[in-house]
Amino acid sequence: MPISITLHVLAAIIWVGGMFFAYMVLRPAALTLEPATRLPLWSHAFARFFPWVWVAVILLPLTGYAMIFLGFGGFAQAGKYIHIMHATGVAMIVIFVYVFLAPYRRLNTALAVSDLAAAGEQLARIRRLIGVNLVLGLITTAIATSGAYWLN
């Protein structure tokens, strides 16, 4: 169980922390750049970050289910906060997979043909969805750290 919780927390920190950095630090700094520079920067940043998110997307459910079934004895024995974390985690994974398979790919396709307007539209979609995922991630973190005290 200690290995599961450690990997679970590390995966969550990497994913949510990366989104926080991208949304709250890199995005405002990158706004000072021209689209011809800004859009490829984002594509390259995502290319470095998204493999780590894939690791998190695999580790979080695996370790989460291990803790639920080995630590709590299944969903029936788990508190409300576990069910909420499960729901928000699934939503976050679905959003990420969509971002990766649709707008991120379209962003790269648009950049490959130097269509900066189309690339900008896709980046705007990604920004909104990462914003949603960031909020879900922060809510999930709050529930993970305090939910056992007020959501049982």
Using one digit for the tens of pLDDT, what is the confidence trace for 76-111? 999 999 999 999 999 999 999 999 999 999 999 999
3-state class (DSSP) for residue 109 = helix
Distance CA 11, CA 2 (A): 14
Q: What are the pLDDT digits (tens) for 78-87? A: 999 999 999 9
- Token pair 């690339």 is at which residue? 119
How much is the pTM? 0.95
**DSSP summary character for residue 129:** H
pLDDT band at 64 (very low <50, low <70, confident <90, very high): very high
Q: Is 12 exposed, middle or buried (0-12, 13-18, 19+ CB in 10 A)?
A: buried
